[in-house]
Structure 1
Amino acid sequence: MPPVKKIVTWLIVIFLLYAIVTSPTQAADIVGSAWEVITNGVTNIARFFDSLIARS
């Protein structure tokens, strides 16, 4: 049986490279949006723990 995980990983990498090459502007927008979501999440988690510490 072929290593399915390895094949799927390569297919995802190839698809991502194809998406970046065919429409780099849209790919940059997607990465920027994903980065914004991650930074907002980290900021909100930090605020949550800060408020927990402030209440003690």
Structure 2
Amino acid sequence: MPVFVKKLLTWGSVAFLIYFMAFRPDGAAQLFRGIGAALIAMFQGLGDFLTSLLA
């Protein structure tokens, strides 16, 4: 992918994130809570898997 396109997509994503947080703060908070919950569930599942391997 050309460097210009990559920079354009990166800055576009940052601009959208700022816009989303500025004009829809409740929606942005719910989105980040959901992402955090998914990450916690993934790491907990990985920990359970590793625990079952060692038991």
TM-score (norm 2): 0.91
How many corresponding residue pairs? 54
Root-mean-square deviation over aligned CA pairs? 1.3
Q: What SS is found at the alignment partner of 1:3?
A: helix
C-alpha displacement of 1:2 = 6.2
Aligned mates of 2:24, 2:38 — CA distance in 1:
22
Q: 1:53 to 1:3 in 2, by over 3 A?
A: same
Structure 1 runs not aligned, ≥5 long = none
Structure 2 runs not aligned, ≥5 long = none
TM-score (norm 1): 0.90
Q: Does 1:45 align with 2:46?
A: yes
Aligned mates of 1:2, 1:48 — CA distance in 2:
40
Letter of the 1:41 counterpart? M
Report what 1:4 is aligned to.
5
Letter of the 1:46 counterpart? G
